[in-house]
Amino acid sequence: MGVSGTPRTTEEWTDLQHSTDREQGLRDGAFPGPEPAPDCPDCGLTVDIRPTHYRWWVGLEPDGPAPLLAHTVPPGQRWHLDRDGTAWNAQDHEPGPGECCRISHHLVCPRRDRP
Ligand SMILES: [Zn+2]
């Protein structure tokens, strides 16, 4: 926000971090604010609400009967969970062989347009 070039102060770095977090949150389908209810506001299905490292929330699809192989999921849509349950998006990082991931409900919500 108003910062151009390499940030020089802690404040500029914080600003850059916050605007980057916001852009990433929007791109990832995450949302800010207090912890949301575990129901999708669009379709009413139950989603797995998780915090992200940038303090937004993401509603992940509940774990399916079979693990979802990360290489079958498009880049930027692969979510992983830390031990503490914090969700993070692997972005375009190439998954390792047999690596599994989660996807956000945002991606597959029956009431939303497909990306
Ligand atoms: Zn939905």
Three-class HEC string of the chain: CCCCCCCCCHHHHHHHHHHHHHHHHHHHCCECCCCCCCECCCCCCECEEEEECCCCEEEECCCCCCCEEHHHCCCCCCEEECCCCCEEECCCCCCCCCCEEECEHHHHCCCCCCC
Q: Tokens for 86?
A: 């914090």
What type of residue is 58? Answer: V
* pLDDT in the model for residue 1: 47
CA of 105 to the centre of ligand 1 (A): 6
User: Could you tell me which residue, 19 or 113, shows the higher pLDDT?
Assistant: 19
CA of 19 to the centre of ligand 1 (A): 26
What are the residue boundaries of the structural domains of the chain, listed by start? Answer: 10-108
CA distance linking residue 106 with residue 79, whole number of Å: 12
Reported as a single tens digit per residue, the pLDDT across 46-105 is 999 999 988 899 999 998 778 899 999 999 999 999 999 999 999 999 999 999 999 999
Question: Is 115's pLDDT higher than 80?
Answer: no
CA of 95 to the centre of ligand 1 (A): 26
* pLDDT in the model for residue 109: 92
What type of residue is 100? Answer: C
* pLDDT in the model for residue 4: 66
**Beta carbons within 10 angstroms of residue 88's beta carbon:** 16
CB distance 25 to 56 below 8 Å? yes
Lowest mean pLDDT of 1-10, 17-26, 50-59, 70-79, name the range.
1-10
Lowest mean pLDDT of 23-32, 39-48, 50-59, name the range.
23-32
CA of 108 to the centre of ligand 1 (A): 7
Closest CA to 80 of 95, 101, 62: 101
